[in-house]
Amino acid sequence: MEAIQARRDGDRRIGRRALLVGGAVAAVATGVLARDELGHLWWRIPGVSKPRKEGDVDYAGARWVAASPANWRMADRPDDYDVDRVVIHVTQGGYASAVKVFRDPAHGAAAHYIVRKDGRVTQLIRELDVAFHAGNREYNERSVGIEHEGFVERPEDFTDAMYAASARLTAGICARYGIPVDREHIIGHVEVPGTDHTDPGKGWDWKKYLRLVEAASASPATSTV
C-alpha cells in the first residue's frame, strides 16, 4: 500500500517513560521527589497505563475496528510522547482492503484512522498509542496517521465528503494536542523523512483541505470525545 511502509517499528531504544521511571526511583532514593510529584507520575510505573475501555474512540461518530496489536505499540501519549503532527496517507486501494491489511499481524503497519470516500471515519488504533504508519519511529511517536480511501493517481477519489470528514477529524486532533493548523504540522506521508512514498500525491488539494480544517477548528461543533 502506498500509504504504509510495511515494516515493524522495531527500534527498542529507551523511551521517555523508562527515563522518567528511572529518574523517579533515583529521586525517591535520595528523598528529592515530593509526594504530589509521585502522584502525578503514578501512570509511568511499568505495568500501569491510563484507563482504557475496548471499543472507545477518540473521535465522536467514528466506527471502531481494532488493528492487529502487531501493527502498533501501546503508549500513553501525549505524556510519553508529544503529539505535534497529523500525517495524511492514501490507501492505494479500497476501504475494505485497507482494513484487512491493518488487521493482519503480518503486515507490520497500520494508521490510527481511515476515511472512506463517503466520509465515514473508522478508528483502528487509539491516539494514546503509537501506530506504525509513517516508516519513521520518531514521526510515529509524535503523530496521528489518517488514511484516505483511493489512489494517488486518481484525485477524483478524494470526494467532497471525504475532505470534509477528514478536515473535521484533523481539526479535533489539532484541538486536543494544541497542534497549529498549518502545512508544517499537517503533512503528507511523502514529507516524512526517510520515506519512499508519494502520498497523498499531487492531486490532493492542500489549499482546500487546510481551509476546511480551519473552518472546522473555528466551529463549536467540532466532533471530539
**Inter-helix orientation angle 160-177/206-218, to 10°:** 50
191 contacts 91 by C-beta, under 8 angstroms:
no
DSSP annotation string for 148-188: ESB-TT-GGGS-HHHHHHHHHHHHHHHHHHT--SSTTTEEE
Give the number of other Cβ atoms within 10 Å of residue 218's Cβ: 10
The answer to whether 147 is a known catalytic residue is yes
User: Among the options 2, 147, 149, 153, which is catalytic?
Assistant: 147
Q: Which residue has the cell 519513521?
A: 136
Q: For residue 93, what are the β-bridge partners? A: 150
User: What Cα–Cα distance (Å) separates residue 209 from each residue in 149, 166, 184?
Assistant: 16, 8, 14
Of 173, 165, 171, 140, the C-alpha closest to 58 is 173
- Asked whether the CA dihedral 190, 166, 101, 56 is positive or negative, the reply is positive
Distance CA 177, CA 26 (A): 30
Q: Which residues are within 8 A (CB) of 12 and not within 5 positions of it... i.e. 6 or more apart?
A: none
> Among all residues, which ones are annotated catalytic?
147
